[in-house]
Chains A and B, each alone.
Chain A
């Protein structure tokens, strides 16, 4: 009894202390120099299975912020919090950023956390621009490709810098038909993943419309993404001459290796998640020869901006940046451009900045040149105007197919 009582008292005291500690901390941050720099926050998987995407975005955003700060003019303060690719933790991370008095939110890197944090940001009226949360549920107001109904109303202050999942599915199907890439098509997708399923659903809908001959559709999950022998055998038995792989490059690299091991060499067609496959450790890049993918960014592009970014990224982090990194870099520059154009100042509240930025992003004369697209514009639906580009891997390099 006595022991219980003492523990209980200790807990109540600890709780009081805990809440007490939280309060002065947040009030002190608002006190010192909040008016000199815009506070940008973001959440992403910095730990766990999806950490490569989160760290790429956080690293690239830091490069962009350092560049902009070095120029003078607009100043940024950047903070990335870990969400471990989990919606619940992402909301916790978002609340931490809110306690830090974040003014502009770079959203979440991955889709499921992005759906949660965009709803929060919409309720709090904090501007949300995600580099890579490509699910349409992040934006809201987009019809489901299979049923044609809208589940979530449009979140008016939420924008994307990447193209949406269904957009990629539609473009892929159209591309395969237009270029006459395959007669019999097999699809392998990850059916416990928002990204992969989102692309597959719209691909399937468009393929039916275009009378594409899909001979085999097989799936895998996070738990079974090391062995693809069943899926590859199914595609081979069905005589598929093109396999569509709407997934990230880690799984795709295994599929290429395992298909090669059984002597099966169809054409492979991927989406933007395939970007990065040439950098997979231990992967024989010769297997990726002839792989086609849709991506907005190629690390070996000739233009000066890309080369500058790639050189800086390689120097700082020792690896070639992928499309996630490029999207994050563009995100920071897009925000900076909009702030500059609107003449916003860092002493404005998050809500005021949100209204200003939404007005800029939806205005007709606002366009941003970035690494992932020239003169990108945004519509009121939150989608970016840039279109997926077809690339093919030749001699270990991306070559445009257009």
Chain B
């Protein structure tokens, strides 16, 4: 029985990889053939970033079982760390691809540090309390970056806080300018880089979930007291999942920021956190392929609905409500299950026939 369950999980993992690879190849070929509209082409990198965001949040919400409302905070840390290092390293690493990779690693490290810092107090809490504290964390990050000034000149990086007191040498430039964010980002993110990041995120998450640690994390989610009683270290495993999730979100932020011309701190607010949570809930808690599809579909959807003009966001909300209702409707669920059962029993009968 156990073997069967495992092989099912592995099968789904492989199909998830296949889904991403097929989608990538199809889009890449269509892009090369000039079959993609500018709109969709422009959205490829943000889609990849949001997919990784949804995957990483699914690790916290679906696998660890803790509701986080401040995930955009990690994205913000990653975005600004990544974009600042991209500008700062422009001279020392001329190769755009390599610079992007380095900046993503730096972003992941910064976001992981933020994850540890916020994790220490937060993971002592549960449920609603944790949700409120993560919400506050997202807002704190937003205000911190709103008041941060980073500039660069021949002497290296300079930073000041609250007031812009930087004195830069001639030929220097402001990189992060408080509420004005980073206005001149050289676009280095590509769809290929986004695809690679999605694959890395999947490998990390599937391997973590499938490992001994992953089972400990899920045991904590299912019954914390029982898990503690068999000697599972709550703090260690919670932290492991939370920090991994934060680091992936940071890398996604770096990808996102370097696919934009400009980013401002107010972009990563409460609404963005909720948007990512919607991807996760819509795709199904703990279901990674669901997060991928939901993130991609809900990023493209508002642009597809532009024909509705003023009623666009209204239609978007209605579509969201309908999808949530339909996927949770017992009648519809039963219908699909009965169809599936019929297919399965038909298949079994066939196999039985073949064996005979």
Binding site for B on A (CB under 8 A): 1-5, 7-8, 11-12, 15-16, 18-20, 22-23, 25-26, 46-47, 81-82, 86-89, 91-92, 94-96, 98-99, 112, 115-116, 119-120, 135, 137, 140, 144, 146-153, 191-194, 197-198, 201, 221-222
For B179, the chain A residues whose CB sits under 8 A away are 191-194, 197
| B173 and A151 form a contact (CB under 8 A) | yes
The distance in angstroms between the C-alpha atoms of A94 and B42, with both chains bound, is: 10
Does B8 make an interface contact (CB < 8 A)? yes
Is residue B171 contacting chain A, with contact meaning CB distance below 8 A?
Answer: yes
Please determine whether B180 and A137 come into contact, CB atoms closer than 8 angstroms: yes
Complex contacts, A140 vs chain B, CB 8 Å? 184
Q: Which residue in chain A gives the minimum CB-CB distance to B158?
A: A147
Q: What are 14 pairs between A and B in contact, CB < 8 Å?
A: A8-B289, A12-B22, A82-B306, A87-B261, A87-B264, A91-B42, A91-B260, A92-B39, A96-B38, A115-B183, A147-B151, A147-B166, A151-B175, A197-B180
Does B113 make an interface contact (CB < 8 A)? Answer: no
Q: Identify which of B30, B261, B312 contacts A119 (C-beta below 8 A).
A: B261
Residues on the B chain within 8 Å of A120, using CB:
261
Are the CB atoms of A11 and B23 closer together than 8 Å? yes
B167 lies within 8 A of chain A by Cβ: yes
* Nearest B residue (CB) for A165: B180
Q: How far is the CA of A116 from the CA of B183 in the complex (A)?
A: 8
**CB-contact partner of B174 in A18, A25, A147, under 8 A:** A147
Q: Across the interface, do B184 and A149 meet the contact criterion of CB distance under 8 Å?
A: no
Does chain A have a CB within 8 A of B43?
Answer: yes
**How far is B265's CA from A87's CA once the two chains are assembled, in angstroms?**
12
Judged by DSSP, the binding face of B is: helix
Q: Within 8 Å of chain A (Cβ to Cβ): is B201?
A: no
Contact of B261 among A11, A115, A192 (CB under 8 A): A115
Pair B171/A151 contact, Cβ less than 8 Å: no
Question: In the bound complex, do residue A152 and residue B184 qualify as a contact, i.e. CB atoms below 8 Å apart?
Answer: yes
A149/B153 in contact, CB under 8 A: yes
For the complex, give the distance between the alpha carbons of A22 and B39 in Å. 9
Known: A23-B37, A119-B261, A147-B151. A16 touches B26 (CB 8 A): yes
Contact A88 B184 (CB under 8 A): no
Contact with B262, one of A15, A137, A197 (Cβ below 8 angstroms): A137
In the complex, residue of chain A having the shortest beta-carbon distance to the beta carbon of B263: A87
Cβ < 8 Å to A, chain B residues 153-178? 153, 164, 166-168, 170-175, 177-178
Kindly identify which residue among B261, B267, B313, B344 contacts A91, using a CB–CB cutoff of 8 Å: B261
User: Do B174 and A92 touch across chains, with their CB atoms under 8 A apart?
Assistant: no
Interface residue count for B (Cβ, 8 Å)?
A: 65
Q: Are A192 and B43 in contact (CB under 8 A)?
A: no
Binds A, one of B11-19, B61-69, B232-240: B11-19
- A7 surroundings in chain B (CB, below 8 A): 289, 293
The 8 Å CB contact of B40, one of A19, A152, A153, is A19
Q: How far is the CA of A12 from the CA of B171 in the complex (A)?
A: 50
Known: A19-B40, A47-B312, A193-B179. 13 other contacts (CB 8 A): A11-B23, A12-B22, A22-B37, A82-B312, A87-B260, A91-B261, A96-B39, A98-B39, A115-B262, A135-B183, A147-B164, A149-B151, A149-B174
Q: Chain A contacts of B38 at CB under 8 A?
A: 95-96, 98-99
Tell me if B40 and A18 are in contact (CB < 8 A). Answer: yes
- The answer to whether A2 touches B180, judged by C-beta atoms less than 8 angstroms apart, is no
Q: A96-B303, A149-B151 are in contact. Are A3 and B336 (CB under 8 A)?
A: yes
**Is B289 a contact of A2 with CB atoms below 8 Å?**
no
Please, how many angstroms separate the alpha-carbon atoms of A22 and B31 in the complex? Answer: 12
Asked if A3 contacts B340 (CB within 8 A), the reply is yes
| Bound-complex Cα distance A4 to B35 (A) | 28
Q: CA A135 – CA B343 in complex, angstroms?
A: 62
Residue of B nearest to A120 (CB): B261
Instruction: With both chains docked as a complex, state the minimum distance between the C-beta of B326 and any C-beta of chain A, in angstroms.
Output: 14
CB distance from A44 to the nearest CB of B (A): 13
Report the nearest B residue to A91, measured CB to CB. B42
Is B262 touching A191 in the complex (CB atoms < 8 A)?
no
Residues on B with C-beta less than 8 A from A47 are 310, 312-313
B300 touches A (CB below 8 Å): yes
Give Cα A15–Cα B175 distance, bound, in whole angstroms.
38
- The complex places the Cα of A399 from the Cα of B343 at a distance, in Å, of 80
Nearest-CB residue, chain A, relative to B87: A151
Determine the distance from Cα of A81 to Cα of B305 in the docked complex, in whole angstroms: 12
Whether B273 is near chain A, meaning CB under 8 Å from some CB there, is: no
Asked if B46 is an interface residue, CB under 8 A from chain A, the answer is: yes
Contacting pair B293 A86 (CB below 8 A): no
Say yes or no: is B146 at the interface (Cβ < 8 Å to chain A): yes
B213 on the A face (CB < 8 A): no
Q: How far is the CA of A89 from the CA of B26 in the complex (A)?
A: 25
* Cα(A3)–Cα(B293), bound, Å: 14
B120 at interface (Cβ–Cβ under 8 A)?
no
Q: Mark B1-35, 1 if CB is under 8 A from A, else 0.
A: 00000001001100100110011001100100001
Let me know if B289 and A19 touch, CB within 8 A: no
Measured in the bound complex, the distance between the Cα atoms of B166 and A149 in whole Å is 11
Q: Does A222 lie within 8 Å of B15, measured CB to CB?
A: no
Nearest-neighbor residue (CB-CB) of B18 within chain A: A8
**A127 nearest CB across to chain B (Å):** 17
Q: A147-B151, A151-B173 are in contact. Are A95 and B41 (CB under 8 A)?
A: yes
Is there a chain A Cβ closer than 8 Å to B190's Cβ?
no
Contacts of B267 in A (CB 8 A): 86-88
CB-based contact A194/B174 at 8 Å = no
Closest-by-CB residue of A relative to B147 is A191
**A11-B293, A147-B164, A151-B173 as given contacts; A137 in contact with B40, CB under 8 Å:** no
- Residues of chain B within 8 A of A88, CB atoms compared: 46, 260, 267
Q: Which residues of A contact B147 (CB under 8 A)?
A: 191
Residues of A within 8 Å of B293, CB to CB, are 7, 11
B324: Cβ under 8 A from any A Cβ: no
Report A-chain residues with C-beta under 8 Å of the C-beta of B203.
none
Contacts of B332 in A (CB 8 A): none
**Residue among A15, A46, A89 with the most chain B CB within 10 A?**
A15
Q: Determine whether B192 belongs to the interface, using a CB cutoff of 8 Å to chain A.
A: no
CA distance A98 to B39 in the complex (A): 8
Q: How distant is A273 from chain B, measured CB to nearest CB, in Å? A: 15
Q: Which among B37, B43, B312, B344 has the greatest number of chain A C-beta atoms within 10 A?
A: B37
Assuming A5-B15, A151-B177, A192-B266, is B260 touching A26 (CB within 8 A)?
no
Q: Would B265 and A192 count as touching, CB distance under 8 A? A: yes
A147→B167 contact, CB < 8 A: yes
